[in-house]
Amino acid sequence: MNLIDGKKIAEQIQLEIGEEVKILVAAGNRAPHLAAVLVGSDGGSMTYVNAKMKACERIGFRSTSLKFESTITEAELLKVVADLNSDPELDGFIVQLPLPKHINEQKIVQAIDPKKDVDGFHPVNVGRMALNLPCYLPATPYGILQLLQRSGIETSGKHCVVIGRSNIVGSPMSILLTRNANPGNCTVTVCHSRTPDISVFTKQADIIVLALGKPGFLKGDMVKDGVVVIDVGTTRVDAPDTKAGWRLKGDADFESVSPKCSWITPVPGGVGPMTITGLLQNTLLAAKKVIY
């Protein structure tokens, strides 16, 4: 069993981005500029946005964090998005999800200029992804592709089972792994809450991408020997023995699954660091204007 060290791979890619930033700035260009919009005080969202801002500082990006109370109206948030769209000094921005229930998330996402949609959620970028055209890929799937590639994991001709069909991970992952590219060329099965017996499919899988949000869902008796497991799950579970009182747990039951794996991502330290890295790579592409 080999651990896929997402933290180490993310650090390497971020070093590479930092070198590109130095070249850009030395040539007289401004540093790439990323903004994050945070609504409310969700603990996970705040931690994530702070991590993004720190990563920007490390690699030489400019960063802006815009925080608003959860009482902000949809119209007010749309105005914030419009202002960011028209800011010539800003290369890309994200609106951290989830948003308060009184705000239509899709309306906000669709209001973002696709050229600045470094989260890769706008329908224009999703459509371009589906057609295998240049676009900003959703950050987590983008990160997973690089984990596979940089770990030397062969995907061509393999059977990949994606568990979960969200627009953020499951659905784009299934598209990306079927495309004629490397990584890609997989035969992909998508399982979800209406799949009667998921183990029928997982036992056949060469690669499993777990994006359910159900800690410990995948058990050792559900996989075959030599499987590659990419665990996207990051659920906080009670852990009285820790200082925080909780720990992150993945969707795979690591103790029973890992002995059967050829490769597996740990939680934490697997996919998580690569999500931020994917966002930074998209922002660099936006600054260089190589997509649009």
Cβ atoms 207, 219 nearer than 8 A: no
pLDDT at 215 (0 to 100): 95
Instruction: Answer whether residue 44 shows pLDDT above 80.
Output: no
245 — pLDDT class (breaks 50, 70, 90): confident
Which has the higher per-residue pLDDT, 241 or 27? Answer: 27
5, 117, 119, 206: which is the annotated catalytic residue? 119
Indicate which CATH number applies to the domain containing 42: 3.40.50.10860
Q: Is 145 in the same domain as 241?
A: yes
Instruction: Judge whether 12 counts as a catalytic residue.
Output: no
Structural domain of 67: 26-113
User: Which of residues 97, 113, 129 is at a domain's end?
Assistant: 113
5, 52, 146, 281: which is the annotated catalytic residue? 52
Residue 20 counted as domain residue = no
Q: What is the spatial distance between Cα 233 and Cα 177, in angstroms, rounded to a whole number?
A: 19
96, 146, 231, 281: which is the annotated catalytic residue? 96
Q: Is 49 in the same domain as 108?
A: yes
pTM to 2 decimal places: 0.94
Residue 290 counted as domain residue = no
Closest CA to 202 of 130, 145, 256, 267: 256
pLDDT at 42 (0 to 100): 81
Indicate which CATH number applies to the domain containing 255: 3.40.50.720
pLDDT tens digits for range 199-220: 999 999 999 999 999 999 999 9
pLDDT at 190 (0 to 100): 98
DSSP string for residues in 169-198: THHHHHHHHHSSSSS---EEEEE-TT-S-H
pLDDT at 237 (0 to 100): 87
Q: Is 107 in the same domain as 157?
A: no
Instruction: Judge whether 52 counts as a catalytic residue.
Output: yes
pLDDT at 243 (0 to 100): 83
Instruction: Answer whether residue 230 shows pLDDT above 80.
Output: yes
Q: Is 215 in the same domain as 91?
A: no
Q: Is 175 in the same domain as 256?
A: yes
Residue with tokens 């590639």: 149
pLDDT at 244 (0 to 100): 80
Instruction: Answer whether residue 27 shows pLDDT above 90.
Output: yes
Instruction: Judge whether 7 counts as a catalytic residue.
Output: no
Q: What is the spatial distance between Cα 26 and Cα 31, in angstroms, rounded to a whole number?
A: 10
pLDDT tens digits for range 51-85: 899 999 999 999 999 999 999 999 999 999 999 99
Instruction: Answer whether residue 234 shows pLDDT above 90.
Output: no
DSSP string for residues in the chain: -EE--HHHHHHHHHHHHHHHHHHHHHTTPPPPEEEEEEES--HHHHHHHHHHHHHHHHHT-EEEEEEE-TT--HHHHHHHHHHHHT-TT--EEEEPSP--TTS-HHHHHHHS-GGGBTT--SHHHHHHHHTT-S-PPPHHHHHHHHHHHHTT---TT-EEEEE---TTTHHHHHHHHHSSSSS---EEEEE-TT-S-HHHHHTT-SEEEE-S--TT-B-GGGS-TTEEEEE---EEEE-TTSSSSEEEE-SB-HHHHGGGEEEE--SSSSSHHHHHHHHHHHHHHHHHT---
Instruction: Answer whether residue 45 shows pLDDT above 90.
Output: no
pLDDT at 178 (0 to 100): 97
Number of domains making up the chain: 2
pLDDT tens digits for range 164-183: 999 999 999 999 999 999 99
Residue 134 counted as domain residue = no
Q: What is the spatial distance between Cα 36 and Cα 53, in angstroms, rounded to a whole number?
A: 8
Quote the mean pLDDT of the chain: 95
